[in-house]
Structure 1
Amino acid sequence: MPLRPEDEQHRRNLVAASDHLRTAGKEDLAASVDHVLSPQGVAFVGRLRVDRLETDPNLGDNVPMKVTESERDLLKNAAEASGRPLSSDATEGLQAFVAGDFMPQPRARARRNSGATSVSVVLNVRVDPRALKQAEARQKELKEAGTRVPVSTVVYDWLCRQHRVGPYAETTE
């Protein structure tokens, strides 16, 4: 399969960098660039990605959730104000679910043809892949016991509770 044009450009740049380093007498650096281009380099880059998951929340597995536009905006703003990314909070929620310390409330849905309308959007939150796998295993156990708990509901409910959004918003009545 041919590479996409931008990938081909990156490959050419890496080959040129390797040649330049070799010409400059930096054989060890050139060999490292060559390694990234090799089949073993693919595995190496994959290991780098896994190592970065601990420090970069944007590299985890995606959990998509349907939310209203206002919920999405409120959650993002609350996370920004707290200085803590939604992905960290979501991973924490999955861990609490797996430990049995948290069980989400079922999501409320408008009745069909009730006239209730709100614009739905998809909020994508990245979580630690290990926490997601454990949560999916817990989800499967609960399903076998007759309880349906989607992982997206776990994340949604946890984020809403933590940031007092949606069903947990403070009312001013």
Structure 2
Amino acid sequence: MPTHNDLRTRLTAAAARLREIDSPNLADAIDAIDTVLAPQGWTHLRNTDATISTGTEPNMPIWMGKTVKGEIVAAVADAGTTVTADVNEAFMKFLAGEFVAGEAVRPRMSAARKEMANLNVRPSSVLREQVAAAGETPSRVAGDYLMRKYSLGPYAADYKDSTLAPGNVRIPEVPRPVREAIRKAAAAAGHKVDDDVNEGFQKFLAGEFVPTAPAWPGTADMVPMKIRPNNDLHDQVRGAGGLRPTQVAVAYLLNKYGIDPAAITE
């Protein structure tokens, strides 16, 4: 096995040879070698190794059904790997354009799978930040990849999709133009407002959506907007503290459909 010095010598020689060829097509390769040979350059490779974790990275909770969580833990153990390695692998494949997370990371659970839990993992902070910088939610990429890799949850052969059971009627008051804008946007997207609210509650509980309490002009024509979110989700949001569930619901609808209340209520 070559020593570290042998590897450095061979990489230095490779860079020199590539420079002799002097081809623009080799510029990226030369730059990559120079990056690794630079002081502490090895850390760039370490941060892309899916099998390495220092154990000190910040925790990243992945919100999912308790049953699926247990199935993932068991599948990872059977495969002889770790959840951390798989999540880092997910991030690398996403960044390389080899993996795109689907919507199934938040499956519409049947009554048997309504109980939720966090799968906690400490992936590479560098990769996690790169995924976020690319405009995607790291926990969403991780959760979808784990379920897809092991054919679990919505990717299981026997999975049956069913909507979350509608709950009690909740009646937030919003300006009339806002209510109409939300209904119109949801209809145009082929969505049900109740399903959108459930989605918003799930993202809020997973830490993927941080709502701001909607503010309305004092002269706004306020009207009731009936929604029927899932009772279990509603209670979890209420128990999480902060904004009221109806505030979270309206804030998410405005965010999802890019509705600016000030622009339509003035």
Contact 1:57 1:127 (8 Å CA) reproduced: no
Aligned-residue identity in percent = 25
- Normalised to the residue count of structure 1, the TM-score between the two structures is 0.56
Distance 1:70 1:100, change over 3 A: same
Offset, 1:162: 1.1
Q: d(CA) in 1 for partners of 2:159 and 2:65?
A: 20
Distance 1:57 1:77, change over 3 A: farther
Provide the residue aligned with 2:129 in structure 1: 133
Provide the residue aligned with 1:94 in structure 2: 91
SS of the residue 2:146 aligns to: helix
Among 142, 157, 169, which residue is 1:170 paired with? 157
Contact 2:64 2:106 (8 Å CA) reproduced: no
- The one-letter code matched in structure 2 to 1:125 is V
Distance 1:128 1:117, change over 3 A: closer
Q: d(CA) in 1 for partners of 2:154 and 2:127?
A: 25
2:115 is equivalent to residue 119 of structure 1: yes
- The one-letter code matched in structure 2 to 1:65 is I
* Structure 2 runs not aligned, ≥5 long: 1-42, 161-266
Q: d(CA) in 2 for partners of 1:133 and 1:172?
A: 32
Distance 1:109 1:168, change over 3 A: closer
Contact 1:57 1:87 (8 Å CA) reproduced: no
Q: d(CA) in 1 for partners of 2:112 and 2:85?
A: 32
Among 55, 62, 66, which residue is 1:65 paired with? 62
Q: d(CA) in 1 for partners of 2:79 and 2:106?
A: 27
Aligned 1:44-83 pairs, distance under 5 A: 55-56=52-53, 58-83=55-80
Offset, 1:121: 0.6
Q: d(CA) in 2 for partners of 1:172 and 1:129?
A: 33
Q: d(CA) in 2 for partners of 1:167 and 1:99?
A: 24
Q: d(CA) in 1 for partners of 2:76 and 2:127?
A: 20
- Normalised to the residue count of structure 2, the TM-score between the two structures is 0.38
Q: d(CA) in 2 for partners of 1:167 and 1:100?
A: 22
Q: Which has the higher contact order (CA 8 A, sep 6+)?
A: 1
Q: d(CA) in 2 for partners of 1:59 and 1:160?
A: 25
Distance 1:156 1:117, change over 3 A: closer
SS of the residue 2:114 aligns to: coil
Count matched residues. 114
Provide the residue aligned with 1:159 in structure 2: 146
Offset, 1:104: 0.6
Offset, 1:172: 8.8
Distance 1:172 1:105, change over 3 A: closer
* Structure 1 runs not aligned, ≥5 long: 1-49, 140-148
